């Protein structure tokens, strides 16, 4: 099989990204406050937080669309201070995809190569390779307007990767898609990132999206990064009340004398509060040994699971249960037993 120009050409190496003390003021307001984050080469990192937490501003500074007040950003060991956006060799996929409606799919993907004065033969091979990567090899001649939302998202990704950037930035890339397509594209984005090895930084406010795609999650609050870790670490071991409450549903229980109120489980790290996730709790018969009596106040069917809200000693709790494990489905007003399934518990900071 004949080797293509694309295969002969060495791919751009993945790069480490270092955000060092980044502070941004806009209109007299501090938007970012001493943001620090290191993204290892080849890693998929997500900035996760509510609206106004500073995640999009951080991405804009990386891309060169916003100037920091202080601090530095280094990509592959090179400071980006004073480097224009088009000279940073960064691929960007915007929330609205920003495709050119008057150009064909192939011309859209080809555009970054034209801007870099890549020769025609290599451009043709690069575009074909990028379209194969996103599993749309036969749409080069089609109009962008004829594509579905999911297909447009893939074309935007192909265009961002066709010139082999060392860093890829994703700004809420799945926000415009419906739930089923969004879940499918989460897997696709991760597959493509794994195949290319491109260091990727994404922005989202969708917790499930961040946990599904990322190697590293950086949670932002009020312009600061408050916790960084793997998806499992930030979900199972949140550092603060904010992180615990923002990542999925959380039962926050006071800690008294080193143990949880209600269940009496030991808690590492002193007093304050700890978090029990809905799946950490089990509903049993009301008279089951080792349980706390509770009253069912709400039952929501979610397919494979039931979301139960119960009240035990005036404390509302959310419990996730598998219908088959419960025998009969609990009814509102029914008395049940609730117990903690066990496992390590840690005290949360108040922030």
**Domain end among 236, 261, 276:** 236
Give the residue among 186, 207, 241 at the shortest CA–CA distance from 48.
207
Domain containing residue 227: CATH number: 3.40.50.300
* Domain match, 210 and 265 both: no
254 has a pLDDT exceeding 80: yes
* Domain match, 135 and 253 both: no
- Residue with the bigger pLDDT between 351 and 138: it is 138
Asked, for residue 241, whether it belongs to a domain, the answer is no
Q: What is the pLDDT of residues 167-206, one digit of tens each?
A: 999 998 888 788 888 888 888 889 999 999 999 999 999 9
* Domain match, 128 and 210 both: yes
Asked, for residue 243, whether it belongs to a domain, the answer is no
Across the chain, where does the E strand assignment appear? 17-26, 29-39, 44-48, 70-75, 78-79, 90-93, 167-171, 199-204, 216-221, 224-229, 251-256, 259-260, 272-276, 281-285, 292-301, 306-312, 315-321, 335-340
Domain containing residue 271: CATH number: 2.40.50.140
Give the residue among 282, 264, 280, 250 at the shortest CA–CA distance from 348.
250
Q: What span, in angstroms and rounded, lies between the C-alpha atoms of 201 and 228?
A: 13
Q: What span, in angstroms and rounded, lies between the C-alpha atoms of 19 and 21?
A: 7
State both tokens at 281.
């709790």
Distances (CA, A) of 84 to 16, 64, 88, 348: 19, 6, 7, 42
* Domain match, 292 and 164 both: no
Give the residue among 139, 232, 133, 237 at the shortest CA–CA distance from 192.
133
- Residue with the bigger pLDDT between 183 and 55: it is 55
* Domain match, 232 and 253 both: no
* Domain match, 72 and 101 both: yes
pTM above 0.85, yes or no: yes
* Domain match, 267 and 119 both: no
- Please state the domain count of the chain: 2
* Domain match, 165 and 299 both: no
**Domain end among 236, 257, 292:** 236
Q: What span, in angstroms and rounded, lies between the C-alpha atoms of 174 and 28?
A: 32
How many CA atoms lie within 13 Å of 227's alpha carbon, on the beta-carbon side?
23
**Domain end among 236, 265, 289:** 236
* Domain match, 269 and 223 both: no
- Expressed as residue numbers, the domain containing 99 is 5-236
* Domain match, 77 and 174 both: yes
65 has a pLDDT exceeding 90: yes
pLDDT at 250: 92
Q: pLDDT grade, residue 350 (50/70/90)? A: confident
* Domain match, 90 and 225 both: yes
């Amino acid at each position: 099989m004949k080797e293509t120009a694309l295969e002969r050409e060495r791919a751009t190496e993945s790069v480490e990204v270092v955000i060092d003390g980044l502070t941004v003021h806009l209109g007299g307001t501090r938007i970012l406050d001493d943001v620090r984050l290191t993204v290892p080469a080849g890693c998929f990192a997500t900035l996760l937080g509510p609206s106004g937490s500073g995640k999009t501003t951080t991405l804009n500074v990386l891309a060169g669309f916003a100037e920091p007040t202080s601090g530095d950003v280094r990509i592959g060991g090179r400071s980006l201070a004073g480097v224009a956006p088009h000279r940073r060799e960064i691929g960007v996929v915007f929330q609205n995809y920003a495709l050119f409606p008057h150009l064909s799919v192939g011309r859209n993907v080809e555009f970054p190569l034209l801007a870099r004065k890549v020769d025609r033969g290599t451009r043709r091979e690069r575009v074909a390779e990028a379209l194969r990567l996103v599993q749309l090899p036969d749409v080069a001649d089609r109009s962008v307007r004829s594509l579905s939302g999911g297909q447009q998202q893939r074309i935007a990704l192909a265009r961002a990767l066709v010139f082999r950037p060392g860093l890829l930035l994703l700004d809420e890339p799945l926000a415009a898609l419906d739930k089923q397509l969004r879940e499918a594209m989460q897997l696709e984005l991760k597959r493509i990132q794994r195949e290319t090895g491109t260091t990727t930084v994404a922005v989202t406010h969708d917790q499930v999206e961040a946990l599904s795609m990322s190697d590293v999650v950086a949670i932002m609050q009020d312009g600061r990064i408050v916790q960084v870790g793997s998806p499992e670490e930030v979900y199972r071991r949140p550092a603060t009340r904010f992180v615990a409450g923002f990542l999925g549903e959380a039962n926050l229980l006071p800690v008294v004398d080193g143990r949880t109120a209600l269940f009496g489980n030991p808690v590492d790290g002193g007093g304050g509060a700890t978090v029990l996730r809905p799946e950490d709790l089990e509903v049993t018969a009301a008279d089951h040994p080792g349980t706390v009596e509770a009253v069912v106040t709400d039952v929501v069917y979610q397919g494979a699971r039931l979301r139960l809200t119960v009240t035990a000693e005036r404390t509302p709790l959310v419990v996730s249960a598998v219908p088959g494990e419960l025998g009969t489905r609990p009814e509102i007003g029914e008395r049940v037993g609730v117990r903690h399934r066990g496992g390590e518990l840690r005290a949360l900071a108040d922030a």
